[in-house]
């Protein structure tokens, strides 16, 4: 089962969070919301994903970064620095690293909760109406 998981051409973002099937089993205890599922799969309203599928012309972030990727949103976009502070601080407390590897986030309950809170409080994943901006 792990060979199929690791050799698939699809699901790269999910594999970054859960490098093997055993790691993915933690989802049974997490019960992710639709917003978190979008983050875990990379299928979301972030401009890089929307541009990849031809839904929008410009993959850039409103902050000026040329690509609004998942990593940019979660870890670097200055638009969300204030909201991201708790997420960053918990990562530094738990792992002494920022940004953490995506696979580190589900392994720490505190970091998982901090990421969820960041995503919800940012309101960036809230609605497809943002695509029309």
- How far apart are alpha carbons 11 and 8 in whole angstroms? 7
Decide: helix, strand or coil at residue 28.
helix
Give the separation between CA 86 and CA 119, rounded to whole angstroms. Answer: 12
Contact criterion met (CB below 8 Å) for 124 and 38: no
Domain residues of the chain, as ranges? 29-132
| CA dist., res. 42 & res. 78, Å (int) | 20
* pLDDT recorded at residue 129: 43
CA separation for the pair 62, 38 (Å, rounded): 20
Q: What is the separation of C-alpha 119 from the centre of its chain, rounded to a whole number of angstroms?
A: 8
pTM for the whole structure: 0.86
Closest residue by Cα to residue 50 from 65, 37, 61, 35: 61
Tens place of pLDDT for every residue, the chain, 133 residues?
555 555 666 778 888 888 877 777 777 777 788 899 899 988 899 999 999 999 999 999 999 999 999 999 999 999 999 999 999 999 999 999 999 999 999 999 999 999 999 999 999 998 654 444 4
The pLDDT of residue 60: 97
């Amino acid at each position: 089962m792990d060979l199929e998981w690791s050799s698939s051409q699809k699901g790269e973002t999910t594999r970054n969070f859960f490098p093997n099937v055993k790691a993915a089993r933690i989802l049974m205890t997490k019960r992710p919301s639709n917003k978190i599922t979008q983050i875990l799969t990379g299928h979301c309203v972030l401009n890089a994903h929307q541009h990849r599928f031809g839904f929008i012309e410009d993959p850039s972030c409103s902050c000026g970064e040329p690509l609004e990727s998942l990593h940019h949103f979660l870890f670097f976009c200055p638009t969300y620095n204030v909201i991201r502070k708790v997420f960053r601080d918990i990562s530094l407390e738990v792992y002494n690293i920022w940004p953490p590897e995506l696979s580190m986030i589900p392994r720490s309950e505190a970091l998982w909760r901090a990421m969820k809170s960041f995503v919800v409080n940012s309101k960036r994943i809230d609605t497809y109406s943002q695509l029309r901006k």
